[in-house]
Structure 1
Amino acid sequence: MATYDKGILGGFSGKVGSVIGTRWRGKNVMRSLPAPSNKVPTTAQVEQRLRFAAAVRFLNPIKSVVSRYFGSNQQDKSIYNLATSYFIREVVIPDGSGGFTIDYPRVLISKGDLQSLANPAAAPAAGEQITLTWEDNSGQGFAQADDLLIAIGYVESLNRALIFNDGIQRDATTDTLQFPAYLAGMEVQLYATFVTADEKEAATSVYLGAVTLI
């Protein structure tokens, strides 16, 4: 492995011929392609790969949210990397049949110091809607009346997430989430959080439970 500051091409990421360029601990790094391995992976390696796959499968549909609001960068770890690490460590659990699944109550879609939803509740309404309510806790901590709601509904059977970011403010105390008609009868895992009006700070999200659309 070699490090470099400024080559004739500058820093690069990815494979060029037999060389891979990347960033490692704040430095540009070049290394050769790894040789194929015939080693059988250990049980721990297999488990880690399965955990990673389960985490990424859930995170990919909501990447636009977690990559912005899941804390802040730490050295060379991106916000999305931090979210992935958290999911592998805290959210992915054995499914009882040799694989891994998501523990939905442990899921976070954001992490931060902003005040989150106070006494939230979610209820299904006719026409594939979910009515979301909360109390106005403006003035508590860093909470402001114009903080913006972000809600996510995740449908496990389709591995699909619907993101609601419609400019609803904290002091509105209610929002109606409209889901597509083809999701009628399906179960939705629901999460919500607040971000500041400038979208620079976020709260730690809350889990609102599983809601079946009607």
Structure 2
Amino acid sequence: MGKLPNGILGGISGKVGTVVGYVMNGKAYVRSAPRKSEQKPSAAQLAMRQRFALAQNWLKPLTPFVRIGCKNYGSSGRGFIAAKSYLMHYALTGTHPEVSVDPAMVMVAWGKLPQATGASVSLDASGNLSFQWDANEYRGTNFQNDHVMLLAYIPEAKLAAFDLCGARRSKGGDTLKLDAGFSGKEADVYMAFITEEREELSNSQYLGRITVI
């Protein structure tokens, strides 16, 4: 049932007759209500639905990260949609119904800032992730003030840990704390850089899969 949250002169919300009202980015829109099809979906349609659902579900726990990390990719200006589009085009392997995500090909941040040189990650004595990179390459430039963005993700458990504004590039290292849920599992690890103004980013770097003890 449709609603008129702003009165009879305002936009509608939900289905009213043959139209559906919705709000996107603060603006009200109306579109035709979809018709139910009596035809069974084709193999191509089923394959596309699977790819869409797989990308959506894989990225969902990373929503706060990719909203910022991928906001400058494409023309949508919406980081999650951009990250999902990239994943569907470049990070899915196999054919329907045996389709999976290749974590090494996933992009969780995109931009023109330089990536880290000599980037690595290891497990420290406390069971947290210790990131290292070359701090000297961009010393004395504006890039030295960039902040690192860190991410660890266990897709099978839908468990993610991240830092959206970590140490400066000039520091050469940072630590990502992990909760007990990571213990005994393998996590895919990523890093990227973002300017202090939170506007420009680097492409994310996949640092591999690490076993958390």
Distance change (3 Å), C-alpha of 1:208 and 1:74: closer
Higher-strand-fraction structure: 1
For the aligned residues, what is the CA RMSD?
2.6
Q: Which runs of 5+ in 2 are unaligned?
A: 1-7
Q: CA, structure 1 residues 206+75, in 2 after alignment: closer, same or farther (shift >3 Å)?
A: closer
Aligned to 1:4: none
| 2:205 matches 1:189 | no
Structure 1 pair 170/191, CA: closer, same or farther in 2 (3 Å)? Answer: same
Corresponding residue for residue 117 of structure 1 = 116
Distance 1:57 1:16, change over 3 A: same
Please say if residues 139 and 170 of structure 2, whose CA atoms lie closer than 8 Å, have aligned partners that are also in contact: no
**Aligned counterparts of 2:153 and 2:45: Cα–Cα separation in 1:** 29
User: How far does residue 71 in structure 1 lie from its aligned partner after superposition?
Assistant: 4.6
**Aligned pairs, number:** 202
Matches within 5 A, 1:28-107: 29-72=29-72, 78-94=78-94, 98-107=97-106
Counterpart Cα distance in 2 of 1:86 and 1:138 = 29
Gaps of at least 5 residues in structure 1 are: 1-6
Post-superposition offset of 1:66? 1.4
1:127-142, aligned counterparts within 5 Å?
Answer: 127-136=126-135, 137-138=137-138
Amino acid at match of 1:8: L
Q: Which residue of 1 aligns with 2:152?
A: 153
Q: Is the 8 A contact 1:114 1:143 kept in 2?
A: no
* Distance in 1 between residues matched to 2:56 and 2:31, nearest whole Å: 26
**Does 1:20 pair with 2:23?**
no
Provide the TM-score with structure 2 as the length reference.
0.83
Q: What residue identity is the alignment partner of 2:39?
A: K
Q: 8 Å contact 2:50–2:96 — kept in the other structure? A: no
**CA positional deviation for 1:201:** 0.8
Q: How far apart in 2 are the matches of 1:110 and 1:203?
A: 7
* Bigger RCO of structures 1 and 2 (CA < 8 A, at least 6 apart): 1
Tell me the amino acid that sits aligned with residue 67 of structure 1: R
Structure 1 segments of 4+ aligned residues over 4 angstroms from their partners: 73-77
Pair 123,74 (structure 1): closer, same or farther in 2 beyond 3 Å: closer
Contact conserved, 2:20 with 2:30, CA < 8 A, in 1? yes
Label 1:99 to 1:69 Cα distance change in 2 as closer, same or farther (>3 A).
same
After TM superposition, the score normalised by the length of structure 1 is 0.83
Aligned to 1:8: 9
**CA distance in structure 1 between the aligned counterparts of 2:130 and 2:76, rounded to whole angstroms:** 40
